[in-house]
Amino acid sequence: MRIAIDIDSTLHHYWDQLAEEARRRFGIVLPYDQQLDWGISRLRPEQLHACIAATHCEQSILAAEPYPGAVETVTAWHEAGHFVHITSHRVDDAYEPTTRWLERIGLPYDELYLSFDKVTRCREIGIDVLIDDSPLNLRGAVDAGIVPATLEHPWNADVRDEEDVISGKDWLTLATALEPVLLRD
Ligand SMILES: [Mg+2]
């Protein structure tokens, strides 16, 4: 199988980094539990852009800690012969720090791709499963005939209800839920 895996809010808990930037820069609180859709209306677009840019600087990228079980799960998939495509909505300058982060946490992969259009790349390289927290990318995967999967976050509850999304509250339950898919030929 060919598996695409997002980074932010999929391999590590990105929300706390983003919320800390919003609080520090603009004094705006972003409660995780209240983020029920993809838009972040408490921040103006330029404020959100500034917060995202700050969380994608080298220091923040390298500081991220993976979710429990994420590295172990992906390592097992890679050792089982699955192709691992790491995909992130980051600017090109983040490429090198991201490779160093993946090395630091010991996550094996076959390709790292930074893009603002992940699903198109997934289609190009014949991805079978996309693990991504974004409702937009999950719906894009459905449309592309790619199996959508995600960690459960408040902002993707709707798409999980409406589409056939494989999900788990953590990496262990997600890995178990994906087992039958990964055993397909
Ligand atoms: Mg994400």
Q: What is the pLDDT along the chain (185 residues), one digit of tens a residue?
A: 999 999 999 999 999 999 999 999 999 999 999 999 888 889 999 999 999 999 999 999 999 999 999 999 999 999 999 999 999 999 999 999 999 999 999 999 999 999 989 999 999 999 999 999 999 999 999 999 999 999 999 999 999 999 999 999 999 999 999 999 999 86
* Helix residue ranges, H only, 27-183: 45-55, 58-63, 70-79, 95-105, 118-124, 135-144, 157-162, 171-182
Tell me the CA–centroid distance for residue 92 and ligand 1, in Å.
17
Q: What is the pLDDT of residue 38?
A: 87
Q: What 8-state DSSP symbol labels residue 170?
A: S
Tell me the CA–centroid distance for residue 64 and ligand 1, in Å.
13
Tell me the CA–centroid distance for residue 116 and ligand 1, in Å.
11
Q: What is the pLDDT of residue 31?
A: 95
CA dist., res. 5 & res. 88, Å (int): 8
The first and second tokens of residue 101, run together, are 């982060």
Q: Does domain 2-12+67-182 have CATH number 3.40.50.1000?
A: yes
Tell me the CA–centroid distance for residue 26 and ligand 1, in Å.
23
Q: What is the pLDDT of residue 37?
A: 87
Q: Which residues contact 1 (CB under 8 A, 6 or more apart)?
A: 82, 83, 128, 129, 181, 182, 184
Tell me the CA–centroid distance for residue 14 and ligand 1, in Å.
8
Q: Delimit the domains of the chain by residue range.
A: 2-12+67-182, 14-62
Q: Are strands 2-6 and 83-88 parallel, antiparallel or unpaired?
A: parallel
Q: What is the pLDDT of residue 184?
A: 82
Edge-to-edge strands of the sheet including 2-6? 111-114, 83-88, 2-6, 129-131, 147-151, 166-168
CA dist., res. 159 & res. 135, Å (int): 6
